[in-house]
Copies of this chain bind each other. A is one copy, B any other.
Amino acid sequence: MSFDKQQFVHELISPNASKIVLLVMDGIGDLPNEEGLTPLMKANTPNLDKVAQMSDLGQTIPVMHGITPGSGPGHLGLFGYDPIKYQIGRGILEALGEDIEVGELDVVARGNFATINGDIVVDRRAGRPSTEESAKVVEKLNAHIMEIEDVKVTFYPGKEHRFVLKLTGEGLSDNIEDADPQKEGKPIKYTSALSTEAEKTARIVNKLLDRIKEVLKDEPKMNFALVRGFSKYPKLPQFPEVYKLKAGAIAVYPMYKGLAKLVGMTIIPTGQTIEDEIETLKQEWNNYDFFFVHVKKTDSYGEDGKFDEKVHVIENVDKVIPDILALNPDVLVVTGDHSTPCAMKGHSFHPVPIMFCAKHTRKGLSKAFNEFECARGTLGTIHATDVMNLILAYAGRLEKFGA
């Protein structure tokens, strides 16, 4: 058996009363613009910079140098799970985030409403409908499609153009291709089985796609669906047991709640804004040892290539830093799950800035929190899977190894 870092660390843990905040600004890492500034450098962040001056800075590699992670691997790594060992389908994440029960007979997948013209996908997000519009179409699908062969079919509404598909039945497998052409201007893509035991599932899904097309044929925009990330429920070591931490997750978007739930964190209900999230953090401060606080919009604006808006989100995060510090956390970690450079309009493989603010740091080397300072920080370049080890160490929760 190969070396299991989590198991190794688990055996050194000695819990104490420390409080830990892991603040994840999704997709925070970026590239310099024409001025030579990244959003973190451009943003006016007196509070983050003050924290940087008390912190150990470094940069994380989410999966491996050169590898661009999805949200799943990005977060699993931060939570201490080797993202190559634990590969999680997108469907399961969406399902968990929407509080959908997933059992042993289920396969779930993430759906996007899309616009087709003939058989050509012209908009993979169907013009980004509102969550309410999209929910109505989900209702329509549920009313018209109950089962395919002996497999029960259920659709669950999601945010905007998204929904979750659940298939329930004997002999289903998640080992099938995404039914998504990935690019606009391409024809509808049917799925295919990646192993013989998945042939039934592939057949069901392809029949289902035809049924969806038929049921939605009169919808002006949401007249088709792309379905991907087919997945069964994976079994992961549970974070609270592995790290002996009562862990709460404060996140707005389903995906991140789903990820946190998958590793066994408690999902703490919160509002829609960063301020809401911090208010929740305050209210729940005494109830957990470890808080995962997720900020989504840094990634969203990175994905949209909106540099100024990303700067603005960072400045909003900066404004709540004093509220977090007022809670007097023993360890405050600020980082991202990956980089989402505005210039690339997507996730990237670049290292991710990170800082650990705690009592025992080599404070003083760095003046600000940004990609350049982090590249030259006291911690160097680390693997994301070492973040939890370091958090526990800064929290004084790890015994010495060996005599």
Contact = CB atoms under 8 A, between A and B. Distances in A.
Contacts of A379: 65, 351, 375, 381
A152 interface: no
A402 B5 contact: no
Given A72-B403, A378-B372, A401-B70, A2 B5 contact: no
B364 A351 contact: no
Interface string A350-386: 1100000000111111000001100111111111001
Interface in A378-403: 378-383, 386, 388-394, 398-403
A262 to B, nearest CB: 13
A73 interface: yes
Given A362-B371, A375-B377, A398 B32 contact: no
A59, A343, A365: most-surrounded residue (chain B CB, <10 A): A365
A258 B344 CA distance: 38
Contacts of A70: 400-403
Interface stretch (A80-88, A117-125, A269-277, A293-301): A80-88
Contacts of A372: 362, 364-365, 378
Contacts of A2: 2-3
Interface string A153-166: 00000000000000
A249 interface: no
B351 A401 contact: no
B390 A378 contact: no
A36 B363 CA distance: 8
Interface in A67-95: 67-73, 83-84, 87-90, 93
Nearest to A64: B389
B63 A401 contact: yes
B343 A400 contact: no
Contact of A68 (B88, B361, B381, B393): B393
A402 B87 contact: yes
A27 interface: no
A73 B402 contact: yes
A380 to B, nearest CB: 3
B64 A5 contact: yes
A349 interface: yes
Contact of A67 (B12, B341, B403): B12
Given A3-B84, A65-B382, A90-B403, 11 more contacts: A2-B3, A68-B393, A73-B401, A73-B402, A93-B403, A343-B360, A349-B393, A349-B398, A371-B378, A375-B379, A379-B381
7 contacts: A31-B362, A32-B363, A66-B386, A66-B394, A68-B400, A229-B403, A375-B377
Closest 8 CB pairs of A and B: A380-B381, A90-B403, A66-B389, A66-B393, A65-B386, A70-B402, A73-B402, A66-B390
Interface of A: 2-3, 5, 8-9, 12, 31-32, 36, 38, 59, 63-73, 83-84, 87-90, 93, 110, 228-229, 341, 343-344, 346-351, 360-365, 371-372, 375-383, 386, 388-394, 398-403
